[in-house]
Amino acid sequence: MAARETILIRISGPDQTGITTAAMSILASADAIVQDVEQMVIRGRLTLEISVEVPPARNVLKDMLLLGWQRGLEVDFEVVERAPTPSIPSLIVSVIGAELSPGDLETVTAAIAKANGNIERIRRLAKTPVWCYEFEVHGGDAAEMRTLLIDRAAESPRFDVSVQRSGLARRAQRLVVLDVDSTLIQNEMIDLLADQAGVGEQCAAITEAAMRGELDFEESLRERVALFAGQPVEIIERAYEQLELTAGAETFIATLKRLGFSVAIVSGGFTSFTERLATRLQLDHAHANTLAHRRGVLTGELDGPIVDRAAKADILRNLAALEGISTEQVIAVGDGANDLDMLAAAGLGVAFCAKRVVRDAADATVSSPHLDAVLFLLGVRREELDQDGLVRSERT
C-alpha cells in the first residue's frame, strides 16, 4: 500500500460563508486525516491553511481546485513533513502606542529575532484610543527579549512593550491590585485635602523635601497630615468632589469584573477616599491610611499602621492568600517608587504613566493615559469592549 502524503493546503481570497465547511466535506469524503488548521480574515480576505494526510489518489486535490474555481478562490498545495510541528513554549509580546509605524514594528520584530524568537502569529487588538499589536513568539530567551524591547522602547519612546508567558499562567490571572493616586485617579489625595485646608504650599514643600531624599515616606506623610490638625472633616467631602478618575478607569474595572477578576486598591492615601471609590466602582478590596478625627475635627494624626512601599507588597500577598491564589496570578498596576515592591511581588507588574525607574523595573509599561489600555496586555480586543457597551463617559 502506498504511503499517505502530508499536504499543506492553502485557500485564499474573498471571505464567504461555508468555505471551511466545503473544504472539510471534501477531506471527509477522501478519508483524509487533518493534522492542523489555521484560519484568519483580514479586511474581508480569507486565508485558510490545512495540514492534512491524504491517500495516494489525488482526487482530493482536484476537488479542492474545483472548489476554488467555483468560489473564486486561490488554492495551492505543498508537501510537508509528516511529523506535526513540535509544541514550543511561547511568549506573548504586546506593543502599545498612540501610533505604531512600520519602523516601530521593525524595531520590535528585530529585537524578537535578536533574542532568537520566531513570530508565529500577529493580532491587532486595538487602534483606539491607542494601537496595540500582540505577537505570539515561539522560542527565544524571555529575559533577553524583554531587556532588548525595553531598551528599544526607551530609545524611541513611541511605544510600550510587555513580554509574558502564554498558556495557563496567563489565563490563570485572577486578581488586579491598583495604586490610586495618579493611577486610578488623576489627582493626589493629599494635595486635594491640602488645597481645601488652605495649606497647599506648605504641603508641596514637604513633598519636595521627600523627593530630595531629606524625608522618608512615613515622615513626609505624617508631617503633611499634621497640617490638617483642627480642620473640620467636611474638607474631606469637598476634596472628594474634586477627584477625577483616570480616563478608561470605569471601563477597565467593569471589564475585569465581567472576566471574573477580583479588583483591589492599595494606596498610600486615605480610607476616606478609597472606601468611597470601592463602593462606587464595586471593588472587592480597599486598603489605605486612616485620618484620625475627634468630634468632627481632624487631629492631624493617622490611626493604625502606615501603608508604605513594603506594606503595599505585603497587602498584595495577603490578598492573594485571601483569594486562594498564588501571587503569580496577580496583576499589579502603579506609577511611583512606592509601588515598586508591589509590582515585583505580582506575577505581572505594570508601570502606568510612570517614571523611568518604575518602567525599568516593571514587567510591562503603559504610557497612554487611558487605564483601559492595560486590558490589551490581557489579550482583550477593543472591539469586544465596544460590542459589550463597556466604553463609557468617565468623569467623576
Tell me which of 15, 36, 151, 181 is the catalytic residue: 181
Active site (annotated) includes residue 181: yes
Taking alpha carbons only, the member of 392, 335, 330 closest to residue 358 is 335
Instruction: To the nearest 10°, report the CA torsion of 155, 92, 124, 75.
Output: 120
Active site (annotated) includes residue 31: no
Tell me which of 104, 160, 179, 335 is the catalytic residue: 179
As a whole number of angstroms, the distance between CA 74 and CA 66 comes to 10
**The three grid cell numbers given for residue 101, joined into one nine-digit string:** 509605524
Distances (CA, A) of 74 to 71, 239, 255: 9, 65, 40
Instruction: To the nearest 10°, report the CA torsion of 141, 144, 146, 151.
Output: -160
**The three grid cell numbers given for residue 47, joined into one nine-digit string:** 486565508
Catalytic residue set = 179, 181
